[in-house]
Amino acid sequence: MRKNTFEWFRLDNAAKIFPGQNSQSWSNIFRLGIVLKEKVEPERLEKALEKTLSRIPSFNVEIRHGFFWFYFKRNPNKATVGQDIRNICYRVKFKENDGFLFRLYYHENRVNLDVYHALCDGYGAMVFLSTLIGEYLRLGGHTVSCNQIVLDVNEKPRVEELEDSYSKYADSKVKYNRRDKWVYHPKGTKAPRHFNNYTSGTMSFMQLRAIAKKYGATVTELLAALLIDVHYKKQLAENKKQREICIQVPVNLRKAFPSESLRNFVLCLRVKIDPNLGEYTFEEIIRSVSLQLKLANDPKLLNSLMTQNLKIERNPVARLLPLAVKNLGVGITFMITAEQTTTSLLSNLGPVVLPEDMACHVEKYYLYTGAGIVNSARCGVVSLGDNLVFTFSNCHKESDIEREFFTRLIKMGVHVKIESNRI
Amino acid sequence: MSYCVNCGVELDKSAKKCALCSAPVINPLENTQQESPAPFADKVYMPKEVEKRLIAAVVSTVMTIPNIVCVLLNAFVFTNSFWSAYLCSTSFLVWVLFVFPFFLRKAKPLVLLAFDSVVSGLYLFLLNHLLGGKWFFGCALPIVAVNAVLVLVYILWAHKKRHWVHKLLCICSLLATSVLSIGVILDFGGGVNYALEAGVIVFCCVLAVVAFLGYCFASKTVRTWLSERFFI
């Protein structure tokens, strides 16, 4: 391994977009949290963090401005942990927090990791947090084995974990160009600046899977269909011009391509229904969602989508544009596309498989996707054992979408326990 | 454990109200809400904001430097006329209109309008005086006053939440009224030929377009007819 591999490296294809989207009040940041069965000791957590950062150096970086592109550079500062705050996932500034693009918090028996999306996707954050907690437990005298998401901190970092897998695997001859319309967005009262609303519901994974099976769908498909149905009914009640309802569903590309990267390697699929086509029952929505996801989740199609996304990055003229111009372009594109073409987001990290000797110390994980700007309710899902946590990140004060969603689940026979940072 | 009677969800032990419907938690059998650790911390961290006043101060300083240089040049080098007065007054007007609002913590539109109108009037008075003209009381002052009144009307009207189409139509109508008023004032106060005619033509054209668009927007029948005949 070359010595300078971890000194600096380029941003991956997805990460290149995020700095251009930053504003004074918003940046693309998400939270992955873990609930332990014991109270967290901050000193031990800080020691574990130091070791984890040396094992996963893609987190031990600061972002720098180049003339043409942003790049990551190894951060010489020492990362610290802090007491948790109520206004989670507030915006990132590159010079704050000693340059680190993640923030690690503790509160009672919880450890929370707020990550800037340019660093990694949900899977990368999951590996980082699980490795950190694994080491934290080891420092407390417990025996914790390693697996795919709990890495051995005594091993050396591998180059494959830092690679830009988009550039490596995007080689399709066809560039699939999606054309998306502006879609429905629920209106509401904006939450105060830097203080979005986060609500999570803990439920039984087995119960949910049994219901999904009844509809012939997976848990993700069931939840996406329910989210669409809630928005669909809300829009019908508003009695205005009906627009499409489109849910963005990120797909972990590591399942389709043999990547070991701990950086971004995710692609967003879109599932939608058009109310102008006629009335939809919940069964019809779930069937449509299921078919759309199955159809889109094809490695060849994903490859062509990736290749399309890389088109601009590979364009020699675009590469030569100064960073400020690129940022302006990204900002404008983000304003008129991105969230305008999606009603909501549903990010499902899936079931987390921890080593048995670690799983007995952990109660559950949760994922807050970070509130959007016009997407009123963005959702994150993650499950550990039978504990599935569904979270809403909402930029509006109103909680009608969350209420409708969870009460629908209760009517289906799922027991839901609610937590929220709302005051 | 407590459940919300409205939503049916189980609530966290520390919850004092349901997060979904705000129904208060009253459980006489279980009085442990205060003792249970809350899932979220109470501490709120407000990130630092870019100080608007600082930027406004920097811009003000940058604007002041050339003015000082010009005043000094006017005083000691090019002393043939008060040419620096034009530059300084224009610069001051620009500062009042575009930089000064950023110094205020919460800008009140009515106060700003009054202040801007007075400063604009004084600026024009100064120009009138320096140029030795007689157009201030006949033309400039009435034009400033009429435009201030029109902006005041818009501020009062737009105080309530309005549809963007209505806002657009209102702005167009007020602009047309402003042009008409300027035409009338220039014609009667300044003796400018054809100013009234030009003002009336612009006013009538804009008002006709505004009336047509307003009617189209208000009438569902017309909207449907237009979308049937002119779809692209």
pLDDT tens for each residue of A388-397: 999 999 999 9
Q: Which of A377-391, B25-39, B99-113 has the lowest mean pLDDT?
A: B25-39
CB of A23 closer than 8 Å to CB of A74: no
Q: How close A104 gets to chain B, by Cα (Å)?
A: 14
Q: Return the percentage of chain A with pLDDT > 70, whole number.
A: 99
Q: Look at residue B50 in the predicted model and tell me its pLDDT.
A: 75
> How far off is chain A from B17, nearest CA to CA, in Å?
9
- Strand boundaries in A128-284, DSSP class E: 197-204, 245-252, 266-273
Which stretches of chain A sit within 8 Å of chain B by CB?
24, 83-88, 90-91, 93, 96, 105, 107-110, 194-195, 199, 201, 399, 402-403, 406-407, 410, 415-422
**In this predicted structure, what is the pLDDT of residue B132?**
83
Among B1, B10, B20, B21, which would you mutate to test the A interface (most chain A Cβ atoms within 10 Å of its Cβ)? B20
Tokens of A174: 């066809």
Cβ–Cβ below 8 Å for A416 and B41: no
pLDDT digits (tens, 9 = 90+) for B125-142: 999 888 888 888 888 999
Q: Return all residues near A316 (Cβ < 8 A) that are at least 6 apart.
A: none
Tokens of A175: 């560039």
Torsions phi, psi for A284 (to 5 deg): -65, -40
Which of B33, B45, B50 best tests the A interface by mutation, with the highest count of A CBs <10 A? B45
- Predicted local confidence at residue B134, as pLDDT: 83
Contact criterion met (CB < 8 Å) for A416 and B10: yes
From CA B21, how far away is CA A213, in angstroms rounded?
A: 31
Structure tokens belonging to residue A256: 């389709």
Buried b (16+ CB within 10 A) or exposed e, A356-395: eebeebbebbbbbbbbbbebbbbbbbbbbbebbbbbbbbb
Torsion of CA B223, B225, B227, B231, to 10 degrees: -160
What average pLDDT does the structure give for chain B? 89
Closest-CA distance of chain A to residue B46, Å: 7
Residues of B in contact with A110 (CB under 8 A): 39
A278-298 pLDDT, tens digit each: 999 999 999 999 999 999 989
* ipTM here: 0.87
Tell me how far apart the alpha carbons of residues A382 and A362 are, in angstroms, rounded to a whole number. Answer: 13
pLDDT mean over A311-321: 90
Q: Number of CB pairs < 8 Å for A and B?
A: 87
pLDDT of B31: 61
In A, minimum Cα distance to B11 occurs at: A418
Inform me whether the pLDDT recorded for B59 exceeds 50: yes
Of A19-23, A254-258, B63-67, the range with the lowest mean pLDDT is: A19-23
